[in-house]
Amino acid sequence: MSATDMNAAGLRRDERLERLKLFGLSSPAVLIVLIILVIPVGWLFYVSFIGADGTFSMENYERMIKRKSYARIFSTTFQVSLLTTGLCILIGYPLAYFMSQLPTRVANLCLITVLLPFWTSLLVRTYAWLVLLQKNGLVNNWAISLGLWDEPIKIVHNLNGTLIGMVHIMLPFLVLPTYGAMKAIDRDYLKAAANMGASPARAFWTVFFPLSTPGLFAGALMVFVLCLGFFVTPAVLGGGKVIMVSMKIVSNIELFVNWGAASALGVVLLVLTVAVLWVASRFLKLEQMTGGGH
Amino acid sequence: MKTTISTAVVASILASAAMAADKSVTIASWGGSYQEAQSKALFEPAAANTGVEVKQETYGGMSDVRLQVSSGQVTLDIVASGSGSAARAAAEGLLEKLDYGVIDVSNFYPTLYSDYCVGGDVFSTVYAWNTDTFGEDGPQSWADFFDVEKFPGKRAYRGKVAGALEPAILADGVAPEDVYEVLGSEEGIERALNKIRELKPHIDVFWTSGAQHAQLMKDGEVDMTTGWNGRFDNAKKDGAKVAYSFNQALLDYDCFAIPKGAPNKDVAMEFLNEISKPEYQDDLPKYITYGPTNKAAYDTGEITADVAAGLPSSPDNAAKQVPVSLDWYAEWETIAAEMYQEMLTE
């Protein structure tokens, strides 16, 4: 055996040792993920296959196919989540852009106002919207006294009210990553584009916008996924007609004598969400969204 | 002198501490003006008289009990429950059997206690209307409630099936005594649902709690709603323009149960006996217009004839109403609830 071979063997041994050490270092993290994620989700899967009589059964899934309400509830959930995400983009992107153009001190002040609602309870904010938007609420009363409309209009206890409440709660989740991505864009790129003869609009769409998309996608994804599990806001502002999966989970827990009836809903929501993310990842680069693509 | 006083004080503090440590119960109820009434009329005076320390909580119903019992972490000793959900929880084995050797129910209406749940109050599911919109003489039957031509206006209706099908089937012309017979099949349930489907364009809100339907009337958000009579009386006291009628209302009762494996089961049993006594029950109508389950409460002189006339369980009012059938709920609630959700999501 030559010296180089021995060297190579030694290097390989060192490499193995280092890998083991690194794994040892990360094992607490792996353990935590196992305990707080893998085991509960596995348990959820298991329970969803347990019927009312305590034995293995598909009844919790069969019920979802038999009763049309389940498909409708899932479609409402995705519809509300998509609409909320879309509205958040429409409002949040220009807001983030505006903030990114401001001097740092003013921008920080704006950031604080964006973050401020975070410090108020979600429940309080939701009920505040109810007070504002109801038939004899502030919005209707002001609008009528200003002559904007004559009769109280129905803004809450329906899909509109739900969306208003949810967009308000979700907006910071979109604005923050988008703003972060925009701040990281080198202004010289835009100057270079202008130098090459691009109009401001063209410079924005071909240079600035593509560079800001990782932040925008990250924010949009966060908003969408959080919306899927929303409970309080649609329950309070939806008037009992906007029924999302989380609400059905609660009513199934009350109604059926087994946890499986509710767990199965959680499993289906999880699978559908993963499917949506997978489809999204075919078109968008997911790793870019988390900031790893630079 | 000084020493004797302080010794006496210390002794009495020790004694009361010992008593509290000995006897305490945790009671869960529904919150709002309902639990406030229970607390003022039943829990607090009974605690003061017996020395039992009472801890109060609000809870989300029998699903909380199921969670506690199935995980073996029972913290609640007494829960207030609707009669129907208590019956289902009992069938599931979530409740302790009540010892009627300890709890004296000799003066109770016989229909207002069961093996697992002892009645606490009698209430009605009524239709209530905004007196600004319809005046004092509002709808007088469920048929009127469903008649949007005679009584145009926005409605609120229950978001759950309990107490939601009976009004619809009555409005559809079924006689009060036949309600549960007609509802005892999927076709019957569908018939009631179709009646609600007709009204649905006029239903602005499907309410989920008593506090909510009281608020809806108080804020004038809807012109008419179904709901529990006591909540409307309390809303009226707060200035809401609301009236209701007992005609064709659904007569039901709330009861107290002990979760299986409750940590202070024996104390809970004694405490239930205490709050079932007429001297506490006769105070309940002062705080909420729900009737006592102990007949003797009418004889103590605390409930005046005027007050009695406004209670769901007074003979005159009871005669106008449809008693809720626990048997129907035990057999049909799950199926009906799924069908109801289908109607809601259409």
Which among A63, A241, A256 has CB closest to B344? A241
Is 80 exceeded by the pLDDT of residue A287?
no
Residue A74 in domain: yes
Among chain A residues, CA nearest to B333? A255
Do the chains contact at A256 and B334, CB–CB below 8 Å?
yes
Q: Residue B16 above 70 pLDDT?
A: no
- Dump pLDDT digits (tens) for B195-233: 999 999 999 999 998 889 999 999 999 999 999 999 999
| pLDDT score of A151 more than 50 | yes
Give the domains, in start order, of chain B with CATH numbers.
Answer: 2-122+253-319 (3.40.190.10), 124-251+322-345 (3.40.190.10)
- A37 and A88 assigned to the same domain: no
- Do residue A86 and residue A206 come from a single domain? yes
B28's tokens: 């869960």
Please state, rounded to an integer, the average pLDDT across all residues of chain B. Answer: 91
CA distance A253 to chain B (A): 6
The beta-carbon neighbor of A257 closest among B92, B219, B345 is: B92
Sequence-ordered list of residues with C-beta below 8 angstroms from that of B227, at least 6 positions apart, any chain: B125, B126, B128, B156, B158, B207, B210, B213, B214, B217, B244
Q: Could you tell me which of B36, B64, B52, B73 has the C-alpha nearest to residue B234? A: B36
- Identify the band that residue B1 occupies on the pLDDT scale cut at 50, 70 and 90: very low
Of B208, B334, B345, nearest to A69 by CB-CB distance is B345
Let me know whether A198 and A233 are in one domain: yes
- Is A283 found in the same domain as A188? yes
Q: How far from each other are the two terminal CA atoms of chain A, in whole angstroms?
A: 45
Please, which residues have CB within 8 angstroms of residue B68's CB and are 6 or more apart in sequence? B74, B75, B76, B259
Mean predicted confidence (pLDDT) in B122-148:
95
**pLDDT tens, A87-138?**
999 999 999 999 999 998 999 999 998 888 888 889 999 999 999 999 989 9
Phi-psi domain of B31 (left: phi exceeds 0; alpha: psi -120 through 50; beta: other): left
Examine the pLDDT at B235 and tell me if it is beyond 80: yes
pLDDT band at B7 (very low <50, low <70, confident <90, very high): low
Alpha carbon of residue B83 to chain centroid: 8
Shared-domain flag, residues A44 and A74: no
In DSSP notation, B262-317 reads: -TTHHHHHHHHHHHTSHHHHTTHHHHSS-B-SBGGGGGSS-S-HHHHHTSTTSHHH
Cα–Cα distance, B240 to B238 (Å, whole number): 6
Query: What single DSSP character describes residue A205?
Result: I
pLDDT higher than 60, residue B21: no
- Report residue B229 CA to chain centroid gap: 10
Name the residue in chain B with its Cα closest to that of A70. B342
- Contact between chains at A253 and B219 (C-beta distance less than 8 A): no
What tokens does A80 get?
Answer: 């509300």
Q: Determine the residue among B132, B155, B196, B205 to mutate to test chain A binding: the one whose Cβ has the most chain A Cβ atoms within 10 Å.
A: B205
Please tell me the distance in Å from B156's CA to the nearest CA on chain A: 9
**Rounded distance, CA A206 to CA A198, Å?**
9
Q: Give backbone dihedrals phi and psi of B193, rounded to 5 degrees, phi first.
A: -65, -40
pLDDT band at A1 (very low <50, low <70, confident <90, very high): low
- The SS3 assignment for B103 reads coil
* Whether pLDDT at B295 is above 80: yes
Instruction: Let me know if residue A60 belongs to a domain.
Output: no
Domain of residue A13 covers 1-48
Asked if A39 and A159 sit in the same domain, the reply is no
Same domain, A85 and A199: yes
pLDDT at A289: 54
**Residue of B61, B219, B338 lying closest to A254 (CB–CB):** B61
Task: Produce one character per residue of A69-96: b if its CB has 16 or more CB atoms within 10 Å, e if not.
Answer: bbebbbebbbebbebbbebbbeebbebb
Contact yes or no for A68 and B61 at CB 8 A: no
Q: How far apart are the CA of A77 and the nearest CA of chain B, in angstroms?
A: 12
pLDDT of the residue at B272: 97
Question: Which has more pLDDT, B231 or B110?
Answer: B231
Q: Which residues make Cβ contacts (< 8 Å) with residue B39, sequence separation at least 6? A: B56
Question: What's the one-letter identity of residue B190?
Answer: E
At A74, give phi and psi (nearest 5°). Answer: -65, -40
What Rg, from alpha-carbon coordinates, does chain A have?
Answer: 25
The whole-number average pLDDT for the span A212-220 is 92
pLDDT of residue A183: 93
Q: Rounded to a whole number, what is the distance in Å from the CA of A62 to chain B's nearest CA?
A: 13
Nearest CA in chain B to A133: B221
> Are A134 and A171 in the same domain?
yes
| Contacts A–B by Cβ distance under 8 A | 60
**For B129-133, what is the mean pLDDT?**
95
In a domain, A59, yes or no: no
DSSP state letters, B4-63: HHHHHHHHHHHHHHHHHHH-EEEEEE--HHHHHHHIIIIIHHHHHHH--EEEEEE---HH
Q: What is the mean pLDDT of residues A148-157?
A: 91
Of A63, A134, A253, the CB nearest to B219: A134
Contact (CB<8Å) B221/A76:
no
Same domain, A203 and A283: yes
**Residue A106 resides in a domain:** yes
pLDDT at position B102, please?
A: 95
Q: What's CA B220's distance to the chain center, in Å?
A: 24
> CA of B65: which chain A residue's CA is closest?
A254
**Nearest CA-CA distance, residue B312 and chain A, Å:** 27
DSSP states of A87-118: HHHHHHHHHHHHHHHS-HHHHHHHHHHHHGGG
Percent of chain A with pLDDT over 90: 69
> Both tokens of residue B10?
């210390």
First to last CA, chain B: 79
Q: Helix, strand, coil % (nearest 5) of chain B?
A: 50, 20, 30
pLDDT value for B61: 87
Q: How many domains does the structure of chain A reveal? A: 2
In chain B, residues with a C-beta closer than 8 Å to the C-beta of A248 are 341
Q: Which residues of B touch A (CB under 8 A)?
A: 60-63, 66, 88, 92, 159-160, 204-208, 219-221, 333-334, 337-338, 341-342, 344-346
Task: Please report, for residues B89, B265, B302, the alpha-carbon distance to residue B288 in angstroms, rounded to integers and kept in the order given.
Answer: 26, 28, 14
Contact state of A134 with B221 under an 8 Å Cβ cutoff: yes
Q: To which residue do tokens 């409307």 refer?
A: B232
Q: Which of A143-152, B126-135, B297-306 has the highest mean pLDDT?
A: B126-135
* DSSP label of A83: H
pLDDT at A17 over 80: yes
Same structural domain for residues A100 and A224?
Answer: yes
Identify the CATH number of the domain in which residue A81 sits. 1.10.3720.10
Looking at residue B243, what is its pLDDT? 96
**What value does the mean pLDDT take over residues A195-217?**
92
The band of B238, judged by pLDDT with boundaries at 50, 70 and 90, is: very high
CA distance B244 to B225: 10
Contacts of A134 in chain B (CB under 8 A): 219, 221
Nearby residues of A115 by Cβ (< 8 Å), 6 or more positions away: A172, A176
Strands B78-82 and B242-257, by their bridges, are: antiparallel
Least confident window among A21-30, A84-93, A277-286, B82-91: A277-286
| Contacts for A20-29: CB closer than 8 Å, 24+ residues apart | none
**In-domain check, residue A71:** yes
User: Residue A37's Cα: distance from chain center in Å?
Assistant: 18
Task: Summarize pLDDT for A249-258 with one digit per residue, the tens.
Answer: 988 988 887 7
Other residues' Cβ atoms within 10 Å of the Cβ of residue B287: 18
Cα–Cα distance for residue pair A25/A19, rounded to 1 Å:
10
Alpha helices in chain A (DSSP H): 3-33, 39-48, 59-66, 68-101, 104-115, 122-133, 138-145, 159-183, 187-195, 200-203, 209-228, 232-237, 245-255, 260-283, 286-289
Q: Which H or E run includes B190?
A: helix B186-199
- B20-29, B191-200, B265-274: least confident range: B20-29
Distance CA A247, CA A259 (A): 15
Query: Strands B118-130, B242-257: parallel, antiparallel or unpaired by DSSP?
Result: antiparallel
Query: What is the residue whose two structure tokens read 């085991």?
Result: A39
Contact B62 A154 (CB under 8 A): no
A136 and A272 co-located in one domain = yes
Q: What's the rounded mean pLDDT across residues B130-150?
A: 95
Q: Is the residue at A294 inside a domain?
A: no
Whether residue A255 and residue B346 make contact (CB cut-off 8 A), yes or no, is: no
Residues A119 and A32 in one domain: no
pLDDT in the model for residue B316: 87
Distance CA(A247)–CA(A272), nearest Å, equals 17
Cα A251 to Cα A17, B64, B122, B126: the distances in Å are 53, 12, 25, 23
